[in-house]
Structure 1
Amino acid sequence: MSPRCHFLRIASKQPKASEEWGIFQLTDHGISPELFRRLKEAGEGFFSLPQEYKEQYANDFAGGVFEGYGTKLAKNPVQKLEWIDYFFHFMWPTSRVNYDKWPKSPPNYREVRGVRGRNEKGCGGGYGGSVGGVGTGSRGFERSIGW
């Protein structure tokens, strides 16, 4: 079975798993534990930087800019409200990648995120554990990112 067919077979099961279980785990994706470790370090490095630096990459929902750094009030697993920091940017398809939104610090952030994007493209069309939404169909995620 081609990697693309394998991806589509798996992706077609994601909406049902999300609806019935509320969660799913993607395994056997070929992304090494070492790369996950480096990704975690890069993310922790960014979020440990001063607030002023992080805000240079702030998103602007009112202006239609969804990529970038943000904070929001959310419920934690025990249903208490807490502020969380997040960072969102496209890694794939390349037509959607805006490197201006990728932080320059920590120095390894861009390199590690780029490696992850290339690994995801190779193991399922960029799906990589991102959820396109319940009920979007087998191509819903791909359509949502302009594929």
Structure 2
Amino acid sequence: MVKVMKESVIKQVLALQSKSTAELKELWRSIFDTDAPPHSKTYLIPRLAYRLQELAYGPMAEKSAKQLDNLADQMEKGKKFTNHYMAAKPLAGTKLIREFQGDLHEVLVSENGFIYQGQSYKSLSAIARKITGTRWNGPAFFGLRSNKEA
């Protein structure tokens, strides 16, 4: 089984797009300890990306996983979601991870806000400002919405 370093997981996930199907299947064997299913790159890449992140950061909170499964089921049935719906605050227990100027920054979503470096914050924007030194839309900084929506 491959050991995934937290510092390099973002680079590994981004590099998946440039790999051949054969390379992706080889990576699959190394991190899942089983042969890859006979699917295309579009099937393999998101699953490999999830697994790499899971190995580096730990499994997703059960409540978050159930909500994502529910959303996926609804999307398979043709339901469309508005940006407003998708921009809702992530569930408590979710980790938001952002690389900025070579440093990884982890934020834990809590019931009452967010926790960054052991300190509680009411908004992601306050955390983004602490990290960058400039004003940022917090959800945009952490990839929860695009800058255009911010």
Q: TM-score, normalised by structure 2?
A: 0.30
Q: TM-score, normalised by structure 1?
A: 0.31
